[in-house]
Chain A
């Protein structure tokens, strides 16, 4: 550092060597620079390596959730089981619970196995146990929707249970089920035969993306769809509240507010608020929105309000930064041709600052989308995302979960099949986040003006 300023002793005669032959000190300095570059490259390499490890782990563990094992069966919808009176009265049909549908499925399984000529010593109950527990519900919904089909034979595609699915995906092996009570080696033999005959197939499963959460007994039927709607409703609330409030606050602070100690305090507090841990907003939301204002628990509206509080400082800070970057000459010119201060701001400054504001908003939203901690406290974790909302109001007010909360919930559940779905959910969440960030980058690149 002091190399340059060092004055040569006794004039410059000592350093008379050629510039082309480096002296030891130059070599030392050049080496230091090279070392520094190597450090930098190493740091980037470590970062990239981490990213690669992260992405490959997520993809490796999560891609399995997007395909699912299905079995095709022809079910005879027996009239004597489903509609004893034969009147096709929907209320009578509804009285038959899912338990009443299990014998039909067992029968269908029996016919299928006989039809394919498969020999098995398994009891019928054990054979039918290969199916997901959601099969009876699927059948019942179909019959209620199509009561005229009673008496006919209909082809259905049912999910298999999570152990069979795991076997098809290589997660479950014959060794790993040695102590397992829910599936036996003989059942897997039957699966092998059915696979060979083409009755059991592993295909892409759209229900994972569109479906609702399922209970612990049927991980194969669980999906992200409803919690995705929950996240979406929350984002609407955040966008609808945080953007106008944030922009209005920053315009006032930046363009109109007098510079005094009060505005200084507000500024410092906004910066501090941006650094407050999100869980604090969760507790605040529980105390204010739920306990005091009596808004419903687990509602996306409350989640959105809490996330609004969290996102506001981010939006205010980025909006102020982009307002500041609009050169004063624009304002002066507008004022000079007779515009009022408000006209100058809204007609000239704000449009020029808009790309920056939008970028900040999108990044704030992306941050809010991935937030889990505050949602835990306002009751968005548990078995919640099972009712798809049927209107905008119910989307905001009916209990729902959110994507990150749903992932957290799945990761806690006992069946390893849920663990796979948690990773699958992370992929969806990442796709959302990457898309939002890309949009932000594109907006900035396309519309931002530099002076």
Chain B
């Protein structure tokens, strides 16, 4: 009957199209949501200027992107992974197990991480120590580690107003979290002397292991609700701050610059975050952004190498290009990166 015929033909179409799916003509990118805006700006300009179709950029986080990147070689896997942190040894190993051995690492520039609060609220001038004392699980008091009892910012630093501590920080799946821990919490931990205390108490056979244990103890954050992990995007952090005027959130510089009517930015160690102060290295909380290219896909997926070259071209990623206009801090060593891409130099040297 007609229904049976319909079903059969629909299934046949599905099957045929599945086999036809093997020819992919656009570059596929996935990874960090911090890199996503930059990658989409480049992808759009790439589609405008070349005869290749506009590359597809998915988000999902650095780790998720690298995981998909390492799934193997072939048209059903992605060509480029965006990451807001360097690829880990573990991930390189996982990649190699699946046959992804030749990886080109491309550093596109730097991204600043800023601390911002509601525009009508109090102004803050932070140092890493303040954040450590405000958010750490335990703090050093008279030579002993005691649970953190700070309730207001005035408890942390008498110069601050007595505003409740309420911090919205990126969740652990974000690359931003790692930078926050490294450049802020750990720096504060070392500055207060708590690091030494942890180091003395740390267990482990080697000095390296002890150091690792001490670092881990340093970055343990309080769990009493004063520090809230945000697993979503910066828009969620912004929404939280709008509903809780005492809140202070962690944002990317580009996001803050697009929302200056709602947010005010805090200084860190006396420096106002801006593309300039990050480029000179004065502003301490910044991190490099990367993308990783599968060398095996170059020449197979049309436009892949052109996309990578276009991304790091002076007119895109340079200090006057659209990326830096959007908030990316241009890499002073961009020329080297351009060479890496042009030579298809893989990680680990021997290309």
Give the interface of A toward B (CB within 8 A): 94, 97-99, 133, 136-137, 140-141, 172, 175-182, 214-218, 237, 240-241, 243-245, 247-248, 290, 293-299, 301, 305, 342, 346, 379, 381-384, 386-387, 393, 396-399, 411-416
Contact = CB atoms under 8 A, between A and B. Distances in A.
Given A245-B7, A382-B56, A386-B43, 20 more contacts: A137-B48, A215-B40, A215-B41, A215-B43, A216-B41, A217-B322, A244-B3, A296-B24, A297-B76, A382-B60, A383-B36, A383-B40, A384-B58, A386-B47, A386-B56, A393-B17, A414-B37, A414-B255, A414-B259, A416-B261
Nearest to B11: A241
B42 to A, nearest CB: 8
Contacts of A295: 18, 21
Interface of B: 1, 3-4, 6-7, 10-11, 13-14, 17-18, 20-21, 24, 26, 28, 30, 33, 36-37, 39-41, 43-45, 47-49, 51, 53-54, 56-60, 76, 78, 232-235, 254-255, 257-261, 264, 315, 322, 325-326
Nearest to A397: B21
A16 to B, nearest CB: 66
Contact of B37 (A180, A215, A290, A305): A215
Contact of A182 (B6, B18, B76, B257): B257
A309 B351 CA distance: 47
Given A215-B44, A386-B44, A414 B258 contact: yes
6 contacts: A179-B261, A217-B322, A248-B4, A412-B232, A414-B255, A414-B258
A342 B78 CA distance: 50
Contacts of B233: 412
9 closest residue pairs by CB, A with B: A383-B40, A176-B261, A382-B58, A216-B37, A179-B260, A244-B7, A215-B40, A383-B57, A137-B48
Given A140-B48, A245-B7, A414-B258, A217 B41 contact: yes
Given A247-B3, A301-B14, A412-B235, A296 B51 contact: no
B261 A180 contact: yes
Contacts of A299: 21
Secondary structure call for the A interface: loop
A216 B30 contact: no
B3 A305 contact: no
Nearest to A218: B44
Contacts of A137: 45, 48
Contact of A216 (B10, B28, B40, B58): B40
A241 B47 contact: no
